Chains A and B, each alone.
Chain A
Amino acid sequence: MRFFLFIFTQTLRNICHSWGVQLMTLLTVTLSVLIFSFFYLIYTNMLQAGEKLGQELRLTVYLESPLNPAEQEEFKKKVNSFGKVEKIIFITPEQAFQRLAKQLGNDSDVLADLSPAFLPFSAEIYPEKDFHNLSRIKEFSDYLKNLPGTQKVQYGQAWVERFGHFVKLLRFIVIISGTLLILTTLFMVSSTLRLTLYARQDELKVLRYLGATNSYIKGPVLIEGFALGLFGSSLGLGALFFLFQWIKINFSSAVFLGLFELRFLPMTTSAVILLGSIMLCTLGSLLSIRRLLKR
C-alpha cells in the first residue's frame, strides 16, 4: 500500500514538474486516437451502408426466349449452383410492360400503340442478404452471362464497382492510418518521456545513490505512460462521440445519410481502442526508461 502511495506521489511530482510537455503528449495521443477512430467509424458505417444496399441488390437476366416451367427449374438449378440466392422471379413481357407503364405514370400513354412483345422475358435474381456478395456480384454476373439463353445481365455495375473500390480504399486508409498513428504515438510518448527523464537525470542519479531500486524509478514513469494512454484515448473517443452527435444532428436529413442509420463505434471496439492506447503508451514509457537505466 505504502509502495503505491510513494509511487503515486512521485508520479504527481513528475507530472507537475513537466506539465507542459506532458500536456502536449496528451494532446498528441488524443489526436492520434481521434483521427484513427474517425476513419474507423466511417469505415464501419460504410460497411453497414453496403450491407443495407446489398439487401436491396438484384440482378436482372434478360433471356432470349420465354422459359417453360421445366426450363425455369433447370435455370434455377444452374443459378443456385454458383451461390445461394434468396429468390428468383421470372417476369413475362406482359408483367414487364405493366411495370413500365406504372413507372411512367402519367406518361404511360406513350406505350399506347406498343405491344408487350418488344420486351424480353427476364428473370430477377435476389442474392443472399450478405454484403460480402457485393464483391462477388461481378463474378456472378459473368457466370449468368455465360448461361445458355442469356441475352444480357444488369445489376447497376457502375455503382457496385465504385462502392466496392471505395470500401477497399477506406479499409486501406484505416490500416495505413492505424499503423502510422500507432508508430507516431509510440514514438511521441517514448520520446517525450525520455526528454523529461533526461531533464531529470541529476535527480535519477541522486535517487540511485540513495538506494532507489529500479521499480521505484520505473514505477512512476510507467504510471505516467498508463495515464497518458487512458486520458488521451478517453479524450479522443469523447471528442469523436461529440463530433458524431453533431454530424448526426446536422446531416441526418441528407439524402445519402438518409439511406441508413449512422452508428457510433460499438462498446467493444471503443474498449479495444482504449486498451490499445494504454498498452502503447505504457510500452512507450517502458522503452524510454529502459534505455535510460541502461546508461
Chain B
Amino acid sequence: MVETLNESLSPHDHSVLVEIVKVTKIYPPDVMALRNVSLSAEKGELIFLTGPSGAGKTTLLKLLCRQEIPTKGLIEIDGNDLNTLSDNAIQKLRQRIGVAYQDFKLLPRLSVFQNIAMPMEVQFKNPKDIRNRVTELLAKLGLSDKQNKPAGKLSRGEQQRITIARAAANSPLLLLADEPTGNLDAVTTGLVMDLFQELNENGSTIIIATHDESIYRGTNHRKFELQQGELF
C-alpha cells in the first residue's frame, strides 16, 4: 500500500498531474460506462470534457476523485496510483482535489458560509483565513448577501455556485467541475468561468465536464469528446 502522497504544485509546471491509462468502467450487471479511456493532463492545464448526457463524463470525474473504482486500467494523480492508495492517503489526496458536483452535494441545514468552509475545516486551516477566503469567494460569485442563509433554501443556480465555491475554497491542485454552468444564466456563467480562469492561472489543473458549448467555444484549451464511453 502507498501511504505517502507525492505533493508538488507550482504554477505552470509542465509535468503530468493526471494520467488515465486504458480505463474501463462497467457498472453491474453489464453497463459499459467507459471503454479503454486514456487521457493525461499537465499541471496547470484546463481541459474540457464534452459530450451528450450519458456519455460517461460524470463517471470519469468520479473515478478521478476515487468516488468510483475503475473496472480496468490505471489512474494516477500526481504520481499516486489511486488503486493502491490506503484509505488515509485517499483522504489526504481528496483534500487536494476540489469537486463541483452536478448534484451539488451540499448540506441543506448548514449555512452557505459553513458549506463553503467545510473543505478548509477538514484541513484545520486558520479560522481567520477561512473567513477571508469564504468572503472572497462569495463576492466573486455574487453571493455575498446569502452567506448566512441555509444552503437548502437557495435556488438551484445559487446552490450550483456554492458547490463551485466549495470546490475552489482550498485552491486545489486539481479541480473537477461537472456541468458547472447547467443552472446558470450568462452573467453568472461569466463569474464562474472567471473564477476557474483565476484558479488555473494560479496553478490549479481544471477538468470541466460540460455540454454547454458557449463556455469552451473559442478557447485555446484542450477539448475531449466522450461518446458512449469512448474518448475522441
Contact = CB atoms under 8 A, between A and B. Distances in A.
A138 interface: no
Contact of A209 (B67, B123, B126): B67
A235 to B, nearest CB: 29
Nearest to B114: A13
A72 to B, nearest CB: 83
Contacts of A208: 91, 94
B92 interface: yes
A211 B94 contact: yes
B118 interface: yes
Interface in A187-220: 202-203, 205-214, 216
Interface string B103-141: 001110100000000110111111100000000000000
Contacts of A210: 94-95, 118-119, 122, 166
A211 B121 contact: no
B109 A17 contact: yes
Residue among A6, A9, A211, A213 having the largest count of chain B Cβ atoms under 10 Å:
A211
Contact of A3 (B93, B109, B124): B124
Interface in A140-166: none
Contacts of A17: 109
A5 interface: yes
B6 interface: no
Interface residues of A, number: 20
A5 B128 CA distance: 13
A211 B107 contact: no
Nearest to B118: A210
A71 to B, nearest CB: 86
Majority-rule SS of A interface residues: helix
Interface string A209-242: 1111110100000000000000000000000000
B127 A5 contact: yes
A291 interface: no
Given A211-B92, A213-B88, A213-B91, A2 B124 contact: yes
Residue among B88, B97, B121, B125 having the largest count of chain A Cβ atoms under 10 Å:
B121
Given A5-B127, A206-B105, A211 B122 contact: yes
A127 to B, nearest CB: 66
Nearest to B65: A209
Given A2-B126, A6-B121, A209 B99 contact: yes
Contacts of A205: 105
A210 B125 CA distance: 14
A202 B107 CA distance: 8
A3 B125 CA distance: 9
Contacts of A202: 107
B166 to A, nearest CB: 8
Contacts of B88: 213-214
B94 A216 contact: no
Q: Lowest 9 CB-CB distances: which A-B pairs, in order?
A: A211-B95, A211-B94, A212-B122, A210-B119, A2-B124, A211-B91, A213-B91, A3-B124, A206-B105
Given A2-B126, A210-B166, A213-B122, 5 more contacts: A6-B121, A209-B99, A211-B92, A211-B119, A216-B122
Interface of B: 65, 67, 87-88, 91-97, 99, 105-107, 109, 118-119, 121-127, 166
11 contacts: A17-B109, A202-B107, A205-B105, A206-B105, A207-B118, A209-B99, A209-B105, A211-B93, A211-B97, A211-B123, A213-B88
